[in-house]
Amino acid sequence: MSRTSKILIQGIIAIIVIAIGVTGFMKLKAGKKELEKKPPKIPLPIVRTITVTNTPMQIIVTGQGTVSPVNEIQMVPQVSGKVVEISPALVNGGMFKKGEVLLFLESVDYEIAVTAAKARVKEAESTFAQVTQDAAAAIAEWKSINSDEDPPPLVAKKPQTASALAKLEAERANLKEAALNLARTRIIAPFNGRVASENVDAGQYVTPGQSLAVLYGTNTAQIVVPLEDQDLFWFDVPGFTTDNYPGSVAEVKAIVAGRESAWTGCVVRSEGRINALSRMHNVVVQVEKPYASVPPLTIGQFVEIRICGQTIDQATIIPRVAMHANHTVWVVDSTDSRLYFRQVDVARSSHAGIVVREGLADGERVVVSALKAVSDGMKVRFVDNDGGKSS
């Protein structure tokens, strides 16, 4: 067979193979079903939820303030003189008891004044007695001569008697004043307290009205707590929200000597006017015997206040992020995984969250995450905020 014949045969075979392949491909293509076009499935939005639990709840109103004394005075002398003795308690921070003598002034001059006043009183008493006897004798002599008539005032020595009596009363008043000035040479503590500052030394000459020290009482301390108007609805403020005294119980907390300490106090009043700048009420909390404990509730200490208010029968707290406009929350129905809008009754808002007293039932799930687009009844997937399963 010639070379030409071989090439021809191979070409025919190649054409037959290609034809068979094309025919098979066409049959396969004709028998293949066309794929259906389906729209892409949109994933459901995922939200985080918390489960509602309603319980009796006492409203706690919190605030802050600085401890200040109820009684604070300047110690000033009422008489002049040289300081001869100072109590060891009369130092900055010193403590003293009511009735304790804090300072002694030189009293010799005042003792002499008392002695002289007593002598003048004796003299005036003698003069008054003499004038009285003379008047009685004059009246008796007049009666012996003119039995039917009363003696005239001059004969009865009424002007002399009145003058002697006035002199006696004046000398007795002078004696009382001298005795009072003598007593004032001792400056006595008017209450139990501490010394805030002192400015006097032994040997110093002092004058009436001169400030020698600043004293404050330790029987009672007070804290002025600024609060918003709506907070006052929840607890008793004597003279403002109730006529009862004292008002609601308050807990006072502070870090003293490196540890947290607590004291019990009560609301006693609100100050006379609302703060013009902040529009807040200044509520006064009072603590009895702040220095009875160790460490004490020190004057000037910054403290946290927790006022125990009314108790709501059934309420729950939800985070602030769960609350939307018009007191609306988003609730997820776990049976159909749909989100619904729910309007609730808000009792109050605090740093701890929103207190809801009506509108949410036990076991309901409240959404605490944000969504860009939301509609009432939309389908969602939810995840419990405590790590539970999603649906």
What tokens does 169 get?
């009363």
What tokens does 391 get?
């649906």
Listed residue (297, 257, 258) closest to 65, CA to CA: 297
From residue 229, alpha-carbon distances to 113, 221, 241, 284, 315 in Å are 61, 24, 11, 14, 22
What is the rounded distance in angstroms from the CA atom of residue 110 to the CA atom of residue 344? 78
Do the Cβ atoms of 191 and 120 come closer than 8 Å?
no
From residue 100, alpha-carbon distances to 90, 168, 196, 209, 337 in Å are 11, 35, 17, 20, 77
| pTM (2 d.p.) | 0.74
From residue 77, alpha-carbon distances to 83, 181, 296 in Å are 10, 10, 31
What is the rounded distance in angstroms from the CA atom of residue 352 to the CA atom of residue 342? 21
Beta bridge partners of 382: 47
Greatest Cα pair distance, the chain, in angstroms, is 207
The pLDDT of residue 143 is 78
Beta bridge partners of 346: 356
Burial class (CB in 10 A: 0-12, 13-18, 19+), 124: buried
Do the Cβ atoms of 218 and 193 come closer than 8 Å?
yes
The pLDDT of residue 73 is 95
Do the Cβ atoms of 136 and 158 come closer than 8 Å?
no
State how far Cα 226 lies from the chain centre.
7
The pLDDT of residue 25 is 66
What is the rounded distance in angstroms from the CA atom of residue 114 to the CA atom of residue 118? 6
What tokens does 20 get?
């068979």
Burial 73-90 (b: 16+ CB within 10 A, else e): eebebebbbebeebbebb
The rounded average pLDDT for each run of 10 residues, N- to C-terminus, in the chain (391 residues) is: 67 73 69 63 85 92 95 95 95 94 95 96 93 84 77 81 92 96 96 94 94 95 94 92 91 91 95 89 95 91 94 92 92 91 91 90 92 89 68 45
What tokens does 325 get?
């406009």
Residue 140 phi, psi (nearest 5): -65, -40
Please report, as a single letter, which amino acid is at residue 196. Answer: A
Helix residue ranges per DSSP H, the chain: 3-31, 108-145, 158-183
- How many distinct helices (H) and strands (E) make up the chain? 3, 22
The pLDDT of residue 135 is 83
Q: 3-state class of 323 per DSSP? A: coil
Q: Is the dihedral angle over the CA atoms 271, 273, 275, 280 positive or is it negative?
A: positive
What is the rounded distance in angstroms from the CA atom of residue 169 to the CA atom of residue 175? 10
The pLDDT of residue 150 is 78
Q: What angle do CA 311, 314, 316 make, to 5 degrees?
A: 100
The pLDDT of residue 70 is 94
